[in-house]
Amino acid sequence: MSDFSYQHGALCAENLSLATIADEFGTPAYVYSRAAITRGYMAYADACRDAGRDAGTALVCYSVKSNSNLAVLHLLAQLGSGFDIVSGGELLRVLAAGGNPGKIIFSGVGKTRAEMQLALSHGIACFNVESVSELHRLNRVAGDMGVVAPISLRVNPNVDAKTHPYISTGLKENKFGVAFDDALATYRTAAALPHLRVTGIDCHIGSQLLDDAPLLEALDKLIELIDQLAAEGIVIAHLDIGGGLGIDYEAEQPVAVGAYLGRLFARIDAWRVARWQGAPVKVLFEPGRSIVGNAGVLLTRIEYLKPGSEKNFAIVDAAMNDLMRPAMYQAWHGVEAVLPRSGTTATYDVVGPVCESGDWLARSRALCVEEGDLLAIMSAGAYGMTMASNYNTRGRAVEVLVDGNVSHLIRERELPEQLFALEKIIS
Ligand code: LLP
């Protein structure tokens, strides 16, 4: 996480001390680096350009669920990004942030009629359809509106992404997509429906993938299908390989974005030359974590140190409601002291104030700390704030975006009164 480094004894976001940010905005706080987000996106954009692709032949559709703050979406929209959404709410966020609806793709297994209507009324680029029932529903909704819906089928290629079972999505037993063996028949159904226009094919096999072999295996299966579809006169104009590239949380060595895209484009280009006389196919990506994951930290303050016979606890003011990943996936996040002390270390579990034993952020960490010290929970830019809840009536954290040595408050801290403002007492 090179945008979070020690300068003059203090952990900084870009060139601003996290201690200064804590003084100004309080804790817990999500702190993001604008430079890191930009670099994360540009790794994809540059690899597309290096492969000779322009906006017409490659599109990065940032996966909004990973970090959906308007300022983050606005920054990415300005860089030229498209967006992968999974709800009407995410669509409205992207539009509010200035995103181009013509670069939005809509994934998800449970799209409602209202969400379909909303997306059609804004003219999004494509619906990634995940079932036969959804095809029929979308056809009816589009017909009622007098429009034609552009669609792609999310194919489940039955590839093992070799990642945590909760974030693996491309196996037969997962709820996602149309089974590979049913894909041809489902495309035939789609092609025959009058208010649908088949434009693409997509997949997303899982998240936090460290190796690109499963992704390239999934690509080969999509290629096979595209050729079979062409033989039936169904021409696929875009191929969406999904997101999924992992990041370095602890000591992982994920494949570099450029290397993966280089291999992917080489394979696609060779196939297009061999079978399609070089006719291009537009390639879409849906990355989330690999763009924002290491672009953010969760800044928290130690409220109490509680030594114990079995364990020592550092009780901090952030909790599982702020960062769910450890409780939910036993995920590992680095913990750094913002103003490191010299002295002897002790081993601590870093836990929050929520009334659950599962409320931990890090376990068995060697720390030299005192009450009142600030800690940064690292690699929290993706699936941090977006998965936060109000459990224990805890307002969600502030979000701050750092640009050089300037901080911008991009989401205020939630107040308790806001948390129950929609509730009603009955007589
Ligand atoms: N496209 C689709 C259809 C997805 O379902 C996802 C993530 C992505 C793209 C983006 O994947 P990425 O590039 O970020 O790996 N909450 C979990 C991750 C859940 C991922 C869900 N889908 C976590 O904290 O690890």
- Across 170-184, 186-200, 323-337, least confident range: 170-184
Q: What are phi and psi of 306, to 5 degrees?
A: -130, 95
- Ligand 1: list residues with CB < 6 Å: 63, 66, 84, 107, 167, 204, 207-208, 242-244, 286-290, 325, 329, 382-383, 387
Give the Å distance between the CA of 299 and the centre of ligand 1. Answer: 23
Check residue 167 and give its pLDDT: 65
Task: Taking residues 253-275, report their average pLDDT.
Answer: 97
Ligand 1, atom nearest to 86 Cα: 3
Residue 168: pLDDT band (50, 70, 90) is low
CA angle (426 as vertex; 424, 427 as ends), nearest 5: 145
Check residue 67 and give its pLDDT: 99
Specify whether 39 is located in the same domain as 16.
Answer: no
| Domain's final residue, options 291, 316, 349 | 291
Residue 170: pLDDT band (50, 70, 90) is low
pLDDT score of 257 more than 60: yes
- Answer yes or no: is 427 within a domain: no
Residue 395: pLDDT band (50, 70, 90) is very high
Ligand 1, atom nearest to 164 Cα: 25
Give the Å distance between the CA of 65 and the centre of ligand 1. Answer: 7
Check residue 90 and give its pLDDT: 98
CA dist 121 and 141 (Å) reads 11
**Residue (of 304, 323, 300) closest to 312 by Cα position:** 304
Specify whether 76 is located in the same domain as 14.
Answer: no
Substitution candidate for ligand 1 out of 204, 323, 324 with most atoms within 8 A of CB: 204
pLDDT score of 164 more than 70: no
Domain count along the chain: 2
Give the Å distance between the CA of 405 and the centre of ligand 1. Answer: 31
- pLDDT tens, residue by residue, 26-68: 999 999 999 999 999 999 999 999 999 999 999 999 999 999 9
**Residue (of 57, 4, 50) closest to 282 by Cα position:** 57
pLDDT score of 1 more than 60: no
Q: Please, what is the average pLDDT of the chain?
A: 96
Query: Which of the residues are catalytic?
Result: 355
Specify whether 210 is located in the same domain as 253.
Answer: yes
Ligand 1, atom nearest to 169 Cα: 5
Specify whether 40 is located in the same domain as 159.
Answer: yes
pLDDT score of 426 more than 90: yes
CATH code of 63's domain: 3.20.20.10
Substitution candidate for ligand 1 out of 152, 240, 245, 289 with most atoms within 8 A of CB: 289
CA 149 from centre of chain? 25
What proportion of the chain, given as a percentage, has pLDDT over 70? 97
CA-proximal residue: ligand 1, atom 22 (nearest): 207
Specify whether 253 is located in the same domain as 344.
Answer: no
Task: Taking residues 390-401, report their average pLDDT.
Answer: 98
Specify whether 25 is located in the same domain as 38.
Answer: no
Specify whether 40 is located in the same domain as 25.
Answer: no
pLDDT score of 347 more than 60: yes
Check residue 161 and give its pLDDT: 77
> Residue 248: which domain range?
34-291
Specify whether 9 is located in the same domain as 106.
Answer: no
CATH code of 15's domain: 2.40.37.10
- Answer yes or no: is 424 within a domain: no
pLDDT score of 162 more than 90: no
- pLDDT tens, residue by residue, 124-158: 999 999 999 999 999 999 999 999 999 999 999 98
